[in-house]
Structure 1
């Protein structure tokens, strides 16, 4: 075997030994005897005993997680990006709400895009928001799963196949919104 190969193999072994000893850390020192045997020393908690949060459990939604990954991939494949903003219902900003606009912001101005939103909401806030929208001419539809509030057909700019424009869906604990009622089906938040 040539000397350069032997030196290279030896260097690799030495480097591996150094890395392994550095990763292994130093052993913990035994507690010192203090002469008072009646006072026990508490052991440090095991860091691996702390449970890790489940993925998505404590996360806040983002424009990339509010809708499904395949929808995000489709939008990105045509050059769309997202812009996040606070979620408003009528004149009220909903605390911890998120509204995302997906479009080609670098291209020429146009009416092509998609909007999605989500927010936690209390029963009282939901009732107030629904009343405000209906007073402005929006249409209320009660459903077994919740309440849909849709902009009037006369003012809808780009309705879906069923004639629905921008629509809010109120259900227990949260509200979702999309630029069409069909678009609500693309929202995958909260994660289950």
Structure 2
């Protein structure tokens, strides 16, 4: 009896950071833009925003590819319950980093896996507690001019020079701060029927 072909895997994200992380699992995958409105809803907290957007991204791509297993992910910087997204500009990044210096920020990173044909749909959260150093304005400017992290939640590009902004990182999923929690992603992919390490 022939073994059925594995379902195609799609990363519902245009993020180069998430693409590079997913490549570590050594699974063939495609990339698709989810085209989801990321505007927070009135009164929505950062945790719920990250969970909602991760699932919305996975659902949006899965609707166009019903046979595929689709990954969606989102990250929101949580500063005392206020969501901080991608700054987009230098000026907004300066404001974000000035507000975060000397404080603890929780990076709420969510990942969802959806397959329309099998009815599979799950989402998990991987919060990361980060303590920022009491940065000087000169340090903030130097970092931003070097890294230009305007597409990173909270302006924090931890896989680069952004690590010098931080005092401590607390997480049970080491890649969550970069944007895709691979321990949770691998768990969800296994639950969706994908084999990561060959036959069980």
TM (normalized to structure 1)?
0.28
Higher helix share: 2
Structure of greater Rg: 1
TM-score normalised by structure 2 residue count: 0.27
